[in-house]
A and B are shown apart, each in its own frame.
Chain A
Amino acid sequence: MKRRKVLLWLSKAAGGYFGAAAAGTIPQLLMINTVRLGEAQAQTGNDVPGLCPGEFCPTDGASGPCVTDTCATRDKCEPGDAGHTCYVSDTCDIDESGDCRGDACTVDSSGACSADTCATDNSGGCISDSCTSDKSGKCRSDVCVSDSSGDCSSDQCNEDKSGACAGDSCDADNSGNCSSDQCNEDRSGACRSDRCNIDKSAPCTGDVCVNDSSGDCIKDVCVVDNSGSCDTDLCRQDSGGPCSSDVCASDITPPSRADAGMSRALRWLYRVAMLLLALNLAPDDAFAATVIDASDAMFGTAPSFQTAQTITVPNPMGAFIRDCDGDGIDEADTNGDGNCAGDPKLLDYNGDGSRELPAGTPFSGTFQFRCVGVSSDIALVTTGPVALHSAGGAGIYGAVFAAGDFALTAIDKIDLKTSSWMADEGRTLTFRTGLAGVVDQAQHDYSETGLPNLSYAGACGATPGSGGQPIPSVSAWGLVFLLLVLSVVAWRWGGLRKVRAQH
């Protein structure tokens, strides 16, 4: 025991070497795959001497074969700071190298860059630059805050001053020769088919914008229309001067004859409908089932309603609008083949808060569906005559612009509550049902912002994408109850007025 202690002391005194050597315990072989034996010799491992490759030494900026240098001023990959042999992702404040690619720098003056990411790009031959300010002369597909390049195409920038742009996506477009722009504010002089929040371009055609101030619009679809000479606009509010055939919730235009006539007719229809409803003086079929419900619907062209028709739909192909591929986005079966392939998705492509087909989607022909449901946040534009046949019911609550004759035929009930309809001149809107009953065209006092969101809940099930509830129809007993209540209220109100008059 004493001998062991002496050996231990000696071992410590000699830094372990002598004692361990004397005891024969210097490990010459340390097992390093220890899992099975469970020895788990924790080896700290010394730092490996030898190479320190430049690739992974941030401080080794002057090494020979540089890759991904980080430097303050310019490349240091070659003697003389020329930097001409670098080719991979230089990161520097100023890049003056001649043949760099994929640089990320504050200022890029390199001549042959591509896909640069920099604050200022002065390079002459850039492609696909991402920079704050692009002054390059021959850019393509630039993404920048301000683009002054003369030869851009498909730019995405906050402000585009380029002269020959096409397909720009920018906040403000001042370019003179744009087409198919998508921007918040479009001031370009010769735009066509613009999609923007504010359109100030003069001779626009077919614009889709939130606010249209253009002077010469035709067939605009907008929320607010301030255009001076609009024609057949479809908008929520129209302030345009000599408009005709506008379909809008709020029309501030000086009434033209046509408008005045239509307004009078609508008001008359509304009053008659309300009178019939309130006094229950309708003919015998007043309590008959409503088979076409067009209440609160707006028709720019007078529709034709046909009930009790003989209707057969021999080969229905599923639902017209449905989430066919299960991705949560509805598709429209605009080719009527019942398959998902090629069906366009209904999305808010123009950012106006409603869903629509992609611009230019062909939509015409004769179709047979199990059911047709178009919820209130969908706006459809046909491109020719359309005949929709439903083997069940149909519900269209959104907006339809018919470029040709439009016919909706359903074996079951047709529901058109709150829908908006517009058609080219001379085109017809026809609604046919196999049921016998009443066509309801009552107008209620909805404000534009208070319109309910409606989605179709028919044989095909609810159409996804709209969280609204359908307007409940009034049953016969419900109507009797309502009339009783109204009578009591009217009697009480009349009585109170008399009492006040006496005082």
Chain B
Amino acid sequence: MPRVKTARMRGHFGGDGWPDGQWHLAEVHAFERLGRHILFDVSSMNCYETTPVVHAVVDAVRSKADGSAQLAGGRFPRHQIKQAVRQLQDRGILLPGAQSVPRARPKLAKRLGIRHLELMVTHACNMRCRYCYGSDDRDGWQEATHLYGARQAGMTWETARKGIDFLFQASGAQKDLSVIFFGGEPLVEFDLIVQVVAYVRDKERETGKQVGFSVSTNGIGLSQKVVDFLLAENISCQISIDGPPAMHDRNRVLATGQGSYDRVMLGVQRLIDKRPGRVPARVTVTAGQVDLPAVADHLMSLGFGSIHIEPVIGTAGALSLGNADLQQFETQTEHLAHYLVRRIKDGRIFNFSNLVRHVRQIRVVDQRLAHFCGAARTYVALAQDGAFYPCHRFVGMAEYRMGDLEQGFDDTLQRRILDLTVDDRPECRECWARYLCGGGCWKHSVDVHGDLARSDLESSCRLIRHQIECAMAINGALKVSDKELLSEAYERTAEPYRISEQGRQS
């Protein structure tokens, strides 16, 4: 965006500090969060910490009212208004004339090329979490098969091997690949995981490619043998845990219906002892159980390296967060944001990845996301029956099947998703956060609207926008060195595919 500097274009200022003539705003989002005034220029992706007078000027222009009338109330001195206007003009935010033509949109990079494979090694699980989307019967969750829509639980070695062959072949010239073991509870198939890792190591030597591994587990299967293996093979391991015992045991129960906290902690502590400060925790929050500080405090005391808290939203019935819960979630997120800032000023890290992810992303000014995640484009899930899906959440949904190992990969859905950038989706293209959000989880869109192109405005979009606002305010509060510390901490604990995906999207 060229800077507008000529005196003619700046206009002449009246007695109240307001420029003569007609003006309009670039696409900006001005807000106050965590006690800071922030202005985000969507076109340039520049993010500013501002003053109340700048916000007043932006509000006045946006309201199309007579600026002089609004600002003459003595709230701000004339010279401050004049400075604010000039600086907005200098940064191409306040533009002369009326907005008549649609704004030009940047060309978004559409990234394509499979290099992350999610292996659904099993759909069997030793737990029966009440919110599990693997269950096909929420009312009878305890008796449900938890197979998503699939008909069998385990993946055979033959299917896994062919899946790995597919990854190496489909990734073409790309060198950095990743394999994610998912389930069910993937450690139920530990022997298969060992076999896959050995096979991949051979393929690495053959091809010169490198593969990062990660596994998402409920922690029950983390025996010493498994932990030793994860360490030896440098496999990233994310633990699903919902906080202190009372909160955790409410939804994360064993097949017997008993809480799983005590069982889980045996293995989790074993892993944390070996990887202090490097084990990520993934927390699921359900309706009526929103207590993020308690969760964060507990998990930090256990020695987790990062905490990601995901609310149940969408179509999970009584477990989904309602409006009151969402408000509480936002308020408590801000508490944690304050805490994050205080803590890092004390030289300590609080890796609350819901926010740190965006803090890291916002720091880099010229990064625009076209999509929320790599599902279907760079990332694909291989179900136990050999079928491909965009990610684990879609497994078993026939209309989102992307071929299989026998018939071959079907790229129809891939091409469709590739073309559904944030500038192509009706709700996203009007949203100020689109290039930072990428459009939200595809599965949420399908759950709420039955349509990939739509967005879950009421809950998913709302929470993401709020988190981005908090992250921008945090960015304003932190020194560059602090942000670098946070970014490093994030990289230490995030899954390899997430790092590479975020680092390379533009």
Query: Residues of A at under 8 Å CB distance from B?
Result: 21, 24, 26-37, 40, 42-45, 47-51, 53, 55-56, 67-68, 87-89, 101-102, 115, 128, 327
Task: State how many residues of chain B have any CB contact under 8 Å with chain A.
Answer: 53
User: Shortest distance in angstroms between B259's beta carbon and chain A's nearest beta carbon?
Assistant: 10
The answer to whether B338 and A53 have CB atoms under 8 Å apart is yes
Tell me whether B363 and A35 are in contact (CB under 8 A): yes
Q: Which of B91, B262, B294 contacts A55 (CB 8 A)?
A: B294
Min C-beta distance of B161 to chain A, whole Å: 19
Q: A29-B49, A48-B34 are known contacts; what are 7 more A-B pairs with Cβ within 8 Å?
A: A31-B48, A33-B45, A45-B477, A48-B36, A68-B294, A68-B297, A128-B262
Q: In the assembled complex, how far is the CB of residue B43 from the closest CB belonging to chain A, in whole angstroms?
A: 14
Contact of A32 among B47, B54, B244 (CB under 8 A): B47
Task: Tell me the minimal C-beta distance from A203 to chain B in angstroms.
Answer: 37
Question: Which one of B83, B366, B479 lies within 8 Å of A43 (CB-CB)?
Answer: B479
Q: Inside 8 A of A42's CB, which chain B residues have their CB?
A: 479-480
Residues 317-348 of B contacting A (Cβ, < 8 Å): 334-335, 338-339, 341-342, 345
CB-nearest residue of chain B relative to A66? B294
Shortest CB–CB separation between residue B251 and chain A, in angstroms?
A: 16
| Nearest 9 pairs of A and B residues by beta carbon | A55-B293, A45-B477, A29-B48, A36-B365, A67-B294, A33-B47, A53-B335, A33-B365, A32-B475
Please state if A101 and B34 are interface contacts (CB–CB under 8 Å).
no
Measured CA separation A482–B55 after assembly (Å): 104
State whether A31 touches B47 (Cβ < 8 A).
yes
A44 to B478, CA, bound (A): 6
Q: Is the CB of A48 within 8 A of B477?
A: yes
User: Which residue in chain B gives the minimum CB-CB distance to A67?
Assistant: B294
Given the interface pairs A51-B335, A56-B339, the reply to whether A28 lies near B364 with Cβ below 8 Å is no
- Find the A residue at minimum CB distance from B484: A35
Chain A residues, CB < 8 A from B334: 51
1/0 contact string of B29-53 vs chain A (CB within 8 Å):
0000011101100000111111101
Question: Min CB distance, A59 to chain B, in Å?
Answer: 14
CB nearest neighbor in B for A141: B262
Residue of A nearest to B247 (CB): A88
B79 within 8 A of A: yes
Q: A32-B47, A32-B475, A48-B35 are in contact. Are A88 and B244 (CB under 8 A)?
A: yes
Q: Are A32 and B49 in contact (CB under 8 A)?
A: yes
- Contact (Cβ within 8 A) A43 B476: yes
Q: List residues 1-57 of chain B with CB under 8 A from any CB of chain A.
A: 34-36, 38-39, 45-51, 53-54
B479 with A102: CB separation less than 8 A: no
Check if B479 sits within 8 Å of A45, measured CB to CB: yes
Pick the contact of B475 from A33, A49, A51, A89 — CB < 8 Å? A33
Find out whether the CB atom of A88 lies under 8 angstroms from the CB atom of B293. Answer: no
In the complex, the chain B residue whose C-beta lies closest to that of A341 is B191
Cβ of A342 to closest chain B Cβ, rounded Å: 13
- In the bound complex, do residue B246 and residue A102 qualify as a contact, i.e. CB atoms below 8 Å apart? yes
| Contact call A43/B49, Cβ cutoff below 8 A | yes
Question: Which residues of chain B from 193 to 250 have a CB within 8 Å of any chain A CB?
Answer: 225, 228, 244-247
CB-CB under 8 A from A34, the residues of chain B are 363, 365, 480
Most chain B CB neighbours (cut-off 10 Å) among A29, A35, A40, A55 = A29
Query: Are A51 and B338 neighbours in the complex by a CB distance under 8 Å?
Result: yes
B362 interface hit (Cβ, 8 Å): yes
B338 & A31 in contact (Cβ 8 Å cutoff): no
B298 interface residue (CB < 8 Å to A) = yes
Task: Tell me if B371 is interfacial: C-beta within 8 Å of chain A.
Answer: no
Interface pairs (27), CB distance under 8 Å? A28-B54, A28-B80, A29-B48, A29-B87, A31-B46, A32-B49, A32-B362, A32-B476, A33-B362, A33-B365, A34-B365, A40-B480, A43-B477, A45-B345, A45-B477, A47-B342, A48-B477, A50-B338, A55-B293, A55-B294, A56-B293, A68-B297, A88-B246, A88-B247, A89-B244, A102-B245, A115-B245
Is the Cβ of A55 less than 8 Å from the Cβ of B297? yes
Does B86 have its Cβ within 8 Å of any Cβ on chain A?
A: yes
A27–B225 alpha-carbon span in the complex (Å) = 58
Which chain A residues border B39 with CB–CB below 8 Å?
29
Q: Are B84 and A28 in contact (CB under 8 A)?
A: yes
Which residue from B80, B293, B345, B363 sits with its C-beta under 8 Å from A53?
Answer: B293
Contact B338 A48 (CB under 8 A): yes
Bound together, the chains give a CA A27 to CA B48 distance in angstroms of 10
Query: Given that A35-B364, A55-B294, A89-B298 are known contacts, is A29 also in contact with B54, CB under 8 Å in the complex?
Result: yes
B127 at the interface (CB under 8 A from A): no
Check B294 against A53 for contact (C-beta < 8 Å): no
Q: Write the nearest CB–CB distance from A341 to chain B, whole angstroms.
A: 9
Question: In the complex, A327→B291 CA distance in Å?
Answer: 42
Chain A residues contacting B345 (CB-CB under 8 Å) are 45
Q: What CA separation (Å) do A45 and B50 show in the bound complex?
A: 13
Q: Tell whether B472 is near chain A: CB-to-CB under 8 Å.
A: yes
Q: Which of B333-377 contact A (CB under 8 A)?
A: 334-335, 338-339, 341-342, 345, 362-366
Q: Is the CB of A87 within 8 A of B476?
A: no
Q: How far is the CA of A87 from the CA of B478 in the complex (A)?
A: 35
Distance in angstroms between the alpha carbons of A21 and B293 in the assembled complex: 43
CB < 8 Å: which of A24, A30, A43, A101 contacts B245?
Answer: A101
How far apart are the CA atoms of A101 and B51 in the complex, in Å?
A: 48
